[in-house]
Structure 1
Amino acid sequence: MYIADQAWPDLEDYVESESLAVVPLGSTEQHGPHLPLATDHLIAEGLAREAADRTGFLCTPTVNVGVSTHHRQFHGTMWVDPPAFRDYVESMTRNLAYHGVDRVVFVNAHGGNVQHLREVGRRLRDDGTAYAIEWMWDESIPDLVDDLFEHNGPHGGPKETAMIQHLAGDLVREERLDDARDGGVVDYGRNTGRTFGARTYYDAVDNSDNGVFGDQTDATAEKGEQLFEAATEQLVRLLEWLDERAFEDLAPKPHVEPEPGSRR
């Protein structure tokens, strides 16, 4: 159920019986010469809306701009500073809690958002407002991603290219796939951007002239459909698991014995 399509009386039954919401988050940032700036938020929204349709849970509008300072050198990239992003997402989630939602899954498709969503989730859990967790689509299906692509990459690579070919193929500049591969970094490994074990980069352009990694020519819409279906299945299972949990079981565990101050 997409909340923005409803009139407020249409939500009465939902808020009486359900307490879970799905919040898609992405970015508006460069994804190489071949993919739209919308790549991350298109993927997040596609997965969140599909999982919500299959389960009946509530899906909110998408947060389209995230923490993307590390792509700032490329035209059109938008970002907000981390504190502003955290405060916005936390405030939005507290809004959901006001309407009775105490479990939230942040359906995230942008790596730069991860640590900040985790921090927001901890804040909300620690004060008893809600149990909110971050879910990253490709991390839910790592074996499939590895099986489908010989040269994957963390950004603008074949997995994201395939997903957009499936979700919004008209936005992919197919004639630039070779340029994306040849102008970026095909072999992305654990030592990329590291010197003597230290991360010696801050921005994507420090490692890749065109901002992307992997072999984009290995992507197809058919592979994208496989990824989308597999990730959606994982997300549906997560939502159903979370819905079955008692809220008290999701709350922070008590301090180990003896409780502080128990002998006073």
Structure 2
Amino acid sequence: MYLGDATWPEAGDHLAEESLAVVPVGSTEQHGPHLPLSTDHVIAEGLARAAADRADLLCTPTVNIGVSPHHRQFHGTMSVDAPVFRDYMESLSRSLVYQGIDRIVYVNAHGGNVEHLQEVGRRLHEDAAAYAVEWMWDESIPELVDDLFEQNGPHAGPKETSMVWHIADLVREGELEAARDGGLTDIESAATHRNGARLFYDSIENADNGAFGDPTDASAEKGQQLFEAACEQLIELCTWLDAQPWETLGPRDHVRERTEER
């Protein structure tokens, strides 16, 4: 059930039977000249709502703006400071806890959110409020991603292009070659690290147009393959998490002193 479409009595009926919620989280940031600023939250919401429909899960409205300072030089990119984002996501999650939810899956589609969502999960776990995990769609199907694309790229490449093509048909097809030629196609050949140190902070330092990988290798058909495989992974995760007894998920007690064990 998509919470935004429900009345409060309808929501109450569902919450009375459900302890898990999926929370789609994305960003509003540049994705090269060929993809919309909405790319990440389009993907996150598409996967979360499909999984919710297919497995009768509770899906919240989407968090559309995340932590994106590394794309700030490009027009239209929006971002919130990391501490603000963490506090907001924790507060949102605790409002779900108040409604009876004690398991949360953050359906994430933006790399800049990962560590912050994991920190929120730790906060909620420490005081036994909820068991919350961050789930990144492409990390659930790495073999398929590698099989489909020769030059994938971590951002605005063929995997995201294919997903958006399948979900929303918002790809600017006439800009695909420009995205490839003006971006960074071969990630492994780029001098992004030296002696174990990362040498960049912003995406523009490596790609003039903000695109990485070869988006000309994308297609809606490949996007459908990615979408279906990732959606299946998400449903399996939620089904497993929902079935776990709270005793195995909550924080463990402090270890007893050795003298108490004798």
| Percent of paired sites with the same residue | 65
Q: Distance in 2 between matches of 1:192 and 1:41?
A: 30
Residues of 2 paired with 1:8 and 1:158: CA distance? Answer: 40
Residues 201-233 of structure 1 deviation map (CA, whole Å, 9 limit, x = unaligned) = 000011111111100100000000000000000
Structure-2 residue corresponding to 1:126: 126
Partner of 2:48: 48
RMSD of aligned alpha carbons: 1.4
Q: What is the alpha-carbon distance in structure 2 between the residues aligned to residue 99 and residue 244 of structure 1?
A: 19
Measured after TM superposition, the shift of residue 253 of structure 1 is 2.5
Q: Identify which range, 118-127 or 4-13, moves more after superposition.
A: 4-13
The one-letter amino acid of 1:87's match is D
Q: Which residue of 2 aligns with 1:240?
A: 239
In the TM superposition, what whole-angstrom CA distance separates every residue of 1:63-100 from its partner, at most 9, and x where no partner exists? 00000000000000000000110011100000000000
Match of 1:158 in 2: 158
For residues 192 and 131 of structure 1, the distance between their equivalents in structure 2, rounded to whole angstroms, comes to 39
CA distance in 2, matches of 1:83, 1:56: 33
- Counterpart-to-counterpart distance in 1, 2:71 and 2:164: 19
2:139 corresponds to which letter in structure 1? Answer: E
- Give 1:256 shift: 3.5
Distance 1:191 1:237 in 2: 37
* Structure 1, gaps ≥5 residues long: none
1:183 aligns with 2:182: yes
Q: For the residues of structure 1 that align with 2:63 and 2:189, how far apart are their CA atoms?
A: 30
Q: Which runs of 4+ in 1 moved over 4 A?
A: none
Where in structure 2 are the equivalents of 1:1-264 lying within 5 Å?
1-169=1-169, 171-189=170-188, 192-258=191-257
CA distance in 1, matches of 2:11, 2:44: 23
Q: CA deviation at 1:15?
A: 1.9
The Cα offsets for residues 187-208 of structure 1, whole Å up to 9 and x where unpaired, read as: 1128641122210100001111
**Partner SS for 1:233:** helix
What's the TM-score once normalised by structure 2's chain length? 0.97
- For residues 35 and 23 of structure 2, what CA distance do their matches in structure 1 show? 23
Q: Distance in 2 between matches of 1:7 and 1:141?
A: 35
Name the count of aligned residue pairs. Answer: 261
Quick one: which amino acid aligns to residue 257 of structure 2? P
> How far has the Cα of 1:11 moved from its partner?
2.0
